[in-house]
Amino acid sequence: MSQSPLLPTPVLESVEGEQTPLLQAPITSRPISSLALVHNAWRFVTSNGKVATGSAIIGFFVLVAIVGPLFVHQNPNLFTNQILLQPSAAHPLGTNQGGQDVFSQLVIGTRSSLFWAFVAGVLVMIISVTVGLVSGYLGGITDDVFSLITNVFLVIPSFPLAIVAAQYFSRSEFTVALIVALTNWPWGARVLRAQTLSMRNREFITAARSSGERTWRIIFFEIFPNQLSIVAASFITTTIQVLLQVAGLEFLGFGDPTAVSWGTMLYNAYNNSALLLGAWWWFAPPGICIALLGSGMALLNFGIDEYADPRLRLKRKRAARQKAVAA
């Protein structure tokens, strides 16, 4: 830092390319091109074994959710008389008591399970970011009111409430996602409020305020980007929560019984005594999928923690070095 300010710093490769055409070219062009973004994303994904494993698992399920249904030509709800068949070439995961093909149900179910977990996760994130940042930044009476609401929601046992609420409203997957979102946002809001409290008196926020920025711009453009790693981590955590809760509600029979998802598959398997019948191909695959996707997201979350906290990264490097020395 003792370098003279007049001395130009070494030119960074990303800036150099932009240097000459900058004045004439459309100025909107940023030095971070989409290619660099992809490169950065790839570097993050491969930075660490946990992240790599986690993203591979999640990537696999996302791929199945998007393109999987194109390869399934069977109606997953079609009843046939070929009941409880063992896995075979025609039915890779056998059939259930209604003669429905388990494999096609699993593939079709991936899309809805993933989609609704994602929707609920996004809803949770929107509510918790808004409540947490606004109450932390504004303080005063707004903070008191928001904190009270947060604390009330925090002590409401979310799963029982979801069960009760699911009784009253129409049994659709949207209802389940909405209920799960409404009972899961307070944790993230609390964490983000605490972070915002510590940030609102930082000098760059005072600088933004004294430069005449509007309050909502300070909250969402100055503070929010500084909390992206927390938001990303809490998004993944809540998505796991939501995935499990949605599956749990459906398993207990509070979902839409006509929809095909992992949770309803488990519900049907349980109600038709798949366990007693020994039809493992019926109940095991959706359970394994839920467990696998959950652990994939958990791994990604650990990875983000390590990535966001340089001290953890350092520890890992030191461990690797020690291993290299020992070998």
Partner 1 sequence: MTSGAPHVSPQPGAVATPILEADHLQKRFPVQGSFGRQLTVRAVEDASLALYPGRALALVGESGSGKTTIARMLARVYDPTAGTLRFQGKPVQFAGGAALRDYRRHVQLIFQDPFASLNPVHDVRYHLARLLRVHGHAKTSAQATQQALALLQRVSLTPAEQFLYKYPHQLSGGQRQRVAIARALAVHPQVLLADEPVSMLDVSIHLDILNLLRQLKNEDHLAFLFITHDIATARYFAEETNVLYAGQMVEGGPSDEVIQHPKHPYTQLLIAAAPDPARLNAEGKRVDALPARGEIPSLVNPPTGCRFHPRCPHAMPVCRERFPARTDLGNGHWTHCFLYGDGTTTTQPS
CA distance 323 to 311: 18
Please tell me whether residue 196 binds partner 1 under the rule CB under 8 A. no
- In degrees and rounded to multiples of 5, residue 38 shows phi and psi of -60, -40
Please tell me whether residue 169 binds partner 1 under the rule CB under 8 A. no
Residue 220 DSSP one-character state:
I
Residue 95 DSSP one-character state:
B
Burial class (CB in 10 A: 0-12, 13-18, 19+), 197: middle
**Closest separation in Å from C-beta 117 to partner 1:** 29
Please tell me whether residue 319 binds partner 1 under the rule CB under 8 A. no
CA distance 276 to 140: 59
Beta-ladder partners of 95: 101
Please tell me whether residue 315 binds partner 1 under the rule CB under 8 A. no
Q: With CB under 8 A as the rule, give the number of residues binding partner 1.
A: 35
Q: Mark residues 7-26: x for contact with partner 1 by CB under 8 A, - for none.
A: -xx-xx-xx--xx--xx--x
Within the chain, where are the H helices? 13-19, 34-45, 49-71, 102-138, 140-155, 158-168, 173-199, 203-210, 215-217, 228-251, 262-271, 274-277, 280-308, 310-326
Please tell me whether residue 27 binds partner 1 under the rule CB under 8 A. yes
Positions in 203-262 near partner 1 (CB under 8 A): 203-204, 206-213, 222, 225-226
Residue among 25 and 275 whose Cβ is closer to partner 1 = 25
CA angle 63, 64, 66 (to 5 degrees): 65
Positions in 28-57 near partner 1 (CB under 8 A): 28, 30-31
**Closest separation in Å from C-beta 215 to partner 1:** 10
**Closest separation in Å from C-beta 142 to partner 1:** 15
Binding-site ranges for partner 1 (CB under 8 A):
1-6, 8-9, 11-12, 14-15, 18-19, 22-23, 26-28, 30-31, 202-204, 206-213, 222, 225-226
